[in-house]
């Protein structure tokens, strides 16, 4: 015997594979909304503590993403969009994803509690629980309304940001939560109307497949109508102001018109123009949320100079 | 024949080792930074030093010490 060599039998995961478990694209929305929640609060936070808080919220969101991928590996393997994720493609072991998910959850919650307060840490823990257990394990496979209730998980970050600064839950943070919560269904269903999904093959009930596309179109309109009072109501709280109300009014009219256009259409019209309206409304929904939170941030900056606000 | 020290496996693991190393350095920086910020936010340390129930001549005001 004169030589030692190792045989390559399995793929070894790199840092990028582990990072992909944290769903970085979802994290970016979480970071933005949590940051706005933190910055619009009436009490200033030390920049470093603010940075650590946002990092904890992002890592907590990533951890819940890893737990979701661990639980849903069987579904992900059966759908084209998700078959390339780290677990179904064999790059990361399911046990590793579970360990990373649990480890990062504990890390982010404890660090947030130590850096800020227990309410913020509790809200982060509840968000992770809600996404991993209530949404992933329970609702996703059992009801076509999964996206409605599961959307709450994505709505918590601004409330956590607010709790970091104030140590409390208030009407302002509740309305920021409600804004994302009510926005999620029309945003997601507009997407579901034009993306050819294979949720049915994976056994996941989606409104477009369980109740048909007409029902989904009606739901988009109803939820958009319910979204309007939440969006405008936020404008009359202490974090709102004329600039926010102006932005919100324009965006609500735009989104409502899109939802109405979707509602009036049928499958033939969709096929004829290759889902042009649905794609446009989906894009509007992205601007809708971004500009709402952007306007809240702008109000906070203007208030500092005594210009806007009530 | 010599045992090969470098293997392709080591090359692939390098990225992972580097990543773990950077994460650990980041973690240390966060804990250090938080400690500094939290301690600075305590304000005048003499204020809470008075509550440790131990005689500290150095924090007794001069006029009291003269009496």
Measured between alpha carbons, how far apart are the two ends of chain B, in Å? 87
The more confident residue out of B64 and A298 is A298
Written as six digits, the tokens of A127 are 């968000």
Phi, psi of A276 (to 5 degrees): -55, -45
| Contacts of A160 by beta carbon, 8 Å cutoff, 6+ apart | A34, A37, A57, A120, A123, A124, A127
**DSSP assignment of A184-230:** HHHHHHHHHHHS---HHHHT---HHHHTHHHHHHHHHHHHHHHHHHH
**Distance from C-alpha of A171 to C-alpha of A175, rounded to nearest angstrom:** 6
Structure confidence at residue B3 (pLDDT):
66
The CA-atom distances, in angstroms, between A37 and each of A23, A161, A297, B52, B66 are: 21, 5, 9, 39, 54
Single pTM value for the model: 0.88
Structure confidence at residue B15 (pLDDT):
84
A-chain residues near B3 (CB < 8 A)? 3-4
- Residues of chain A in Cβ contact (below 8 Å) with chain B: 2-6, 8, 12-15, 18, 46, 48-49, 52, 55, 111, 114-115
Structure confidence at residue B53 (pLDDT):
67
**Distance from C-alpha of A186 to C-alpha of A60, rounded to nearest angstrom:** 26
A-chain residues near B33 (CB < 8 A)? 48, 52
The CA-atom distances, in angstroms, between A17 and each of A24, A91, A126 are: 11, 7, 26
Structure confidence at residue B62 (pLDDT):
72
B-chain residues near A55 (CB < 8 A)? 30
Structure confidence at residue A196 (pLDDT):
75
**Distance from C-alpha of A63 to C-alpha of A69, rounded to nearest angstrom:** 10
Q: Judge whether A17 and B16 are in contact, CB under 8 Å.
A: no
Distance from CA of A49 to the nearest CA of B (A): 7
Written as six digits, the tokens of B2 are 């010599």
Residue A179, H or E segment: helix A171-194
- Output the CA torsion B16→B21→B26→B31 (10° steps): 130
Q: What is the pLDDT along chain A (310 residues), one digit of tens a residue?
A: 455 555 545 677 888 899 999 999 889 999 999 999 999 999 999 999 999 999 999 999 999 999 999 999 999 998 888 899 999 999 999 999 999 999 999 999 999 999 999 999 999 999 999 999 999 999 988 888 888 888 899 999 999 999 999 999 999 999 999 999 999 999 999 988 888 777 877 878 888 888 888 899 999 999 999 999 999 999 999 999 999 999 999 999 999 999 999 999 888 888 888 888 999 999 999 999 999 999 999 999 999 888 877 7
Q: Which of A1, A49, A96, A112 should one mutate to test binding to chain B, selecting the residue with the greatest count of B CBs within 10 A? A: A49
Q: Do B16 and A55 touch (CB under 8 A)?
A: no
Q: Do A55 and B30 touch (CB under 8 A)?
A: yes
**Distance from C-alpha of A113 to C-alpha of A124, rounded to nearest angstrom:** 10
A-chain residues near B34 (CB < 8 A)? 48-49, 52, 114-115
Q: Judge whether A86 and A69 are in contact, CB under 8 Å.
A: yes
**B9-46 pLDDT, tens digit each:** 777 788 889 999 999 999 999 999 999 999 888 877 76
Structure confidence at residue A101 (pLDDT):
97
Structure confidence at residue A1 (pLDDT):
46
Facing A49 at nearest CB: one of B3, B13, B37: B37
The CA-atom distances, in angstroms, between A284 and each of A154, A191, A281 are: 19, 11, 5
B-chain residues near A52 (CB < 8 A)? 30, 33-34
Written as six digits, the tokens of A230 are 């939440």
Q: Is B39 on the interface with A (CB under 8 A)?
A: no
Written as six digits, the tokens of A133 are 């257990």
| Contacts of A59 by beta carbon, 8 Å cutoff, 6+ apart | A22, A104, A107, A108
Classify B47 as helix, strand or coil: helix
């Amino acid at each position: 015997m004169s030589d030692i060599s190792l045989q390559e039998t399995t793929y070894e995961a790199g840092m990028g594979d582990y990072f992909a478990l944290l769903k970085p694209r979802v994290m970016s929305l979480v970071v933005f909304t949590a940051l706005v929640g933190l910055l619009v609060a009436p009490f200033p936070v030390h920049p470093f503590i603010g940075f650590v808080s946002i990092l904890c919220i992002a890592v907590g969101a990533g951890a819940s993403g890893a737990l979701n991928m661990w639980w849903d590996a069987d579904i992900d393997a059966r759908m084209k969009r998700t078959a390339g994720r780290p677990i179904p493609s064999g790059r990361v072991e399911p046990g590793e994803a579970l360990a990373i998910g649990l480890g990062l959850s504990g890390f982010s919650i404890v660090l947030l509690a130590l850096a800020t307060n227990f309410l913020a840490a509790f809200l982060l823990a509840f968000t992770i629980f809600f996404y991993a257990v209530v949404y992933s394990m329970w609702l996703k496979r059992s009801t076509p309304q999964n996206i409605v209730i599961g959307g709450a998980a994505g709505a918590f970050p601004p409330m956590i940001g607010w709790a970091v600064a104030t140590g409390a839950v208030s009407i302002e943070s509740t309305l920021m939560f409600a804004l994302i919560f009510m926005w999620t269904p029309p945003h997601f269903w507009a997407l579901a109307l034009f993306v050819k999904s294979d949720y049915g093959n994976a056994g996941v009930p989606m409104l477009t497949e369980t109740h048909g596309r007409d029902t989904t179109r009606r739901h988009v309109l109803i939820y958009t109508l319910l979204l309007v009072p939440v969006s405008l109501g936020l404008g009359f709280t202490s974090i709102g102001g004329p600039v926010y109300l102006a932005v919100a009014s324009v965006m609500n009219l735009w989104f409502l018109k899109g939802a109405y256009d979707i509602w009036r259409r049928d499958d033939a019209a969709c096929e004829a123009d290759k889902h042009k309206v649905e794609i446009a409304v989906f894009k509007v929904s992205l601007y809708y949320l971004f500009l709402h939170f952007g306007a809240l941030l702008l109000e906070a900056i203007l208030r500092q100079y005594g210009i806007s606000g009530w | 024949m010599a045992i090969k020290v470098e293997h392709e496996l080591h090359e692939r693991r390098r990225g992972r080792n580097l990543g773990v190393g950077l994460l650990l350095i980041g973690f240390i920086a966060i804990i250090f930074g938080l400690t500094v910020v939290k301690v600075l936010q305590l304000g005048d340390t003499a204020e809470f030093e008075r509550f440790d129930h131990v005689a500290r001549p150095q924090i007794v005001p001069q006029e009291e010490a003269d009496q």
